[in-house]
Amino acid sequence: MNAVRQLAKNVISKSLYSIFLRGISIAYSIYVIRTLSKAEYGLLALILTIVGIVNLLTNVGFPTMVMKSISKHYRHDIGKATSYFKFSLRMYSIITLVGAIVLFVFSPYLAQFYKQPNAVYLLRLGCLLFIGLSIFGLYETAFVAMNKYRRYLFQVAIPKEIILLVGGSILVYLGYGPSGVLSAQIGSVFIGLLISVFLAHRYLKGSSTSIDKRWIVKGALEITPGSWASGIALNLDILIMGIFVVLPILAAYKVSFNLLDMVVAFFPVAAFTLPTFHNQTHQEATLLLNRIIKFTLLFFTPVIFFFFSFSKEILVTLFGTKYAADYWILSILAFMIVQRILASVFVTALLYLGKFKTQSTIWVCAAALNAALMYFLVRSFGLTGALTTVFIIGYSLLFTMGFCICRSGMKIDLNSILKILILTSPLLSNFANLWIEPFFLRLTIFISSGLLYLLILSVKNVFRVRQAFRTGIALFRRQTEDVIY
């Protein structure tokens, strides 16, 4: 139970601070989406996806090994944790510079491939953004592993987001469009990186000690195929849609996904799961993982219903009427909220179990299947094919990882996930028949479905509501001022 409370203190504290941090980010994103045309935002989404793919392909597992090594040694041997971080930083910086040079050289060819001649300059701006994001991400991982995330939020993340909000809004208002957005991101990332370097030297100041460099390189290489495959699996949709669909449709798809990511970001349990697991026995870690699953299902199922019911009103309120006709995309993607949260937790559980090769194999298979399905379905059915592929790959990945975790000795309750999916399917069909008008009819259905949901949860042996509520109470009962271990 202490593990649940310890994790709860970190998760809720990060959630509370993330509400403010994400509020800044959401305000900026809303302003950018409202100001840019759908074609401009679609081009910006394509550029950022290419930069993100290159970023993921060059991390070669070092961020994950930084998380693992610092989580393991920081409390007991700060010198060894410092040495692992410095070695990883040197290796990662060299790989990042090589990736940036490759992206710079191939920018004209990528612009020609996507038939976007104006994208060359944006892609080369993306090279600078890529360098900043890569190194900044490694420092962020170190702060999470050291359990210094609250200080990181106040001293790095929030100032960085404020700089992005002010600078980006001015540049977009002056008419610089996607190039202004990228320039503001570059400036804010490098300022955040400078502050992160200064803070890291304060916390990682132990004297250098001998470390097992072969262990960290071997672990990084074992994780690399999975890291590459995960990057492809998670971002391939935008890359393929950039070939077969027009930019306005790509923009509508990306806007809905961004909103989905904003919701998921308010429950950052995966960020603290690995450091918490390392301090627990195998049995305690298993109990903790099951509590996370049950609370996630209990809390986020009504959120799914809400987004599914009022997707049109949400999009119009946030992003304007130009996205009103695309509400059905958000309605469908709402059912991926639980999948994305639990998938990140399951990835962390596999890392805790040391199943690097298993995780890599799962991601490679998912990436290959995703590439094949996405290509053929998007080519034939456009946006509908992309959404179908997202569902198939997402939930196949979730249950495959869950099965591997169970085979590794952590007996997690996958039946609860299946039960929630089965229970929501009749409601999904009812919503589909009464989707658009009138508004009050949908509101009535939403409230009735919520009452039905609570009634179903109260049935004995269908879902252990009492245990899930205990986890929820544990998450909110503790004070959130002192979060440091």
Q: At what angle do helices 38-58 and 177-203 cross, to 10 degrees?
A: 30
**Cα 109 to Cα 42, 114, 231, distances in angstroms:** 19, 9, 21
**Contact between residue 189 and residue 159 where contact means Cβ atoms under 8 Å apart:** no
Segments making up each domain of the chain, as ranges: 2-477
pLDDT at 183: 92
Q: Which position has the token pair 């106040």?
A: 154
**Per-residue b/e over 323-362, b at no fewer than 16 CB within 10 Å?**
beebbbbbbbbbbbbbbbbbbbbbbbbbbbbebbebbbbb
Q: H-helix or E-strand containing 478?
A: none
282 residue type, one letter: H
Answer yes or no: pTM beyond 0.75.
no
| Omega within 30 of 0 (cis) for the link into 178 | no
**Contact between residue 261 and residue 18 where contact means Cβ atoms under 8 Å apart:** no
Q: What is the rounded CA–CA span in Å between residue 284 and residue 278?
A: 11
The CA R_g of the chain, rounded to the nearest whole Å, is 22
pLDDT at 455: 53
pLDDT at 435: 45
DSSP 8-state symbol, 335: G
Low-confidence residues of the chain: pLDDT under 50: 1, 272, 426-427, 429-437, 459-465, 468-469, 471-485
Query: Of 265, 260, 256, which is closest to residue 329 (Cα–Cα)?
Result: 256
Name residues whose C-beta falls within 8 Å of residue 25's C-beta, 6 or more positions apart in sequence.
161, 164, 165, 262
pLDDT at 77: 74
pLDDT at 10: 55
**Contact between residue 157 and residue 21 where contact means Cβ atoms under 8 Å apart:** yes
pLDDT at 188: 92
